[in-house]
Amino acid sequence: MRGLSEAFPLDEASIQSVLGRPMADDPARVADILAKARDLKGLEDVDLPHLMAIQDPDLLHELFVTARWVKDQLYGNRIVLFAPLYVSNLCANECLYCAFRASNRDLPRRALGRDEIAAEVGHLLGQGHKRVVLVAGEAYPKEGLDYILNAIRTVYAVRRGEECIRRVNVNIAPLDVPDFRRLKEVEIGTYQLFQETYHRETYARMHPRGLKADFDWRLGCMDRAMLAGIDDVGIGALFGLYDWRFELLAIMQHARHLEARFGCGPHTISVPRIEPAEGSATSEHPPHAVTDEDFRKLIAILRLAVPYTGLILSTRERPEIRKEALRLGISQISAGSRTNPGGYEDDSCGGGAQFSLGDHRTLDEVVCDLAQTGFIPSFCTSCYRMGRTGSDFMDMAKPGEIKNHCHPNALSTMQEFVEDHASPATRFAAERLLAGSLEEMEPSARAQAERMVARVKEGERDVFC
């Protein structure tokens, strides 16, 4: 099969062996692991089953407290915001949980042209977005990959006054190394791809037809991307297809493999849960549905296991779950999302969507809620443009130096949103948060942040360090 030699050596048997051992709450062992996590160097895979097994409410509370402490130490109260931009729902695969699957004849199909993509971007800019993840079903119009490359160029070219999309991340079908090099040339940010499930038998059952049925081709995708020079990659699983504990341990194997081979693990890990999708019985009744409590647990464990990796949560989740997840380790969220091509321009039409949304709030409403609860909404994209990616980013993140850039940049981009897009309620909440944040900063960092915010207030845009 394609990609067999390129796939990382997922050791499924060792995961099953670990999960097959009976485990009960072990307060002493858990305490040792949580103390180890506070060293901010991550956890070993052998530590994780002990945290997965926690049932005692007091131990669970300690897990959550530790996860919040680790997140605060590394990310502070910053939350990065983005929006998905679906340019096509054409697909040749047969993923049983997805509305885009080829056999779903009732789904309206659409691949946006350049003018339509530009119109979508205009609407996103009108909301205040600066970062998007471009998404497409796994079949393209006759131009093939050129369709995607031209779509990315179109996104970057759109202007709304002085506003533009500053970074395009990409979530598209796996490529070979030469095509990944072409993707890198159009200056993408992070390349995302989710294995969906790392359990080979379940994967085969969920993907009976189409190119995506090749488990190993997908499994080796991130190796090929990094061989092509894309050093910021994002991995994940669709939780609910198989045992969440298995998926978490497999994600950790994947992350360790990339770090060992390329000197840098994944830039982000996404944790989507299955949500209902049009015409999919599987999505309505996930084979291994993840409870809210287990979902909180897996987020907290990931934060402790890979402390410097960004954790992404989409608008699949309800607002109340998203709010809790922010405290447990999530560092990036989408807002004001649509999952159908053309959904931003024609908000009245949800036809052609990939899955149902749990959070229907506008970007302004999300920004307001974040500010009111003490989180700084960040639209920063400076690291991509300053070359702080891959191992270079981690070299600054691990000693804590990246905070010298992230915090001032978050405040300046929040002020930019306030000046250009905020409602009165959001302006009030954000300005109050800004004042409090500046007071808590070290004098030199505060002086820099104040200068940057002042430049934004005076009319300058895209101020970053």
Full domain range(s) for residue 255: 72-360
Which pLDDT value is given to residue 350? 56
Closest-CA residue to 163 (of 399, 413, 385, 403): 413
Q: Are residues 147 and 197 in the same domain?
A: yes
Is 378 exposed, middle or buried, given 0-12, 13-18 or 19+ CB atoms closer than 10 A? Answer: buried
Return d(Cα 281, Cα 99) in angstroms, integer: 10
Which pLDDT value is given to residue 389? 74
Question: What are the tens digits of pLDDT across the range 42-66?
Answer: 999 999 999 999 999 999 999 999 9
Which pLDDT value is given to residue 402? 65
Question: What number is the average pLDDT over the span 333-362?
Answer: 88
Q: Are residues 233 and 90 in the same domain?
A: yes
Tokens of 218: 């997908």
Q: Are residues 355 and 421 in the same domain?
A: no
Among 303, 336, 360, the domain boundary falls at 360
Which pLDDT value is given to residue 399? 66
Q: Are residues 344 and 409 in the same domain?
A: no
Question: What are the tens digits of pLDDT across the range 230-274?
Answer: 999 999 999 999 999 999 999 999 999 999 999 999 999 999 999
pTM of the model: 0.94
Which pLDDT value is given to residue 353? 87
Q: Are residues 321 and 421 in the same domain?
A: no
Total number of domains in the chain: 2
144: domain CATH number? 3.20.20.70
Whether the per-residue pLDDT at 2 is higher than 70: the answer is no
Answer whether residue 374 is part of any domain.
Answer: no
Answer whether residue 372 is part of any domain.
Answer: no
Q: pLDDT > 70: what percent of the chain?
A: 96
Answer whether residue 334 is part of any domain.
Answer: yes
Backbone φ, ψ for residue 378 (5° rounding): -115, 135
Answer whether residue 35 is part of any domain.
Answer: no
Answer whether residue 229 is part of any domain.
Answer: yes
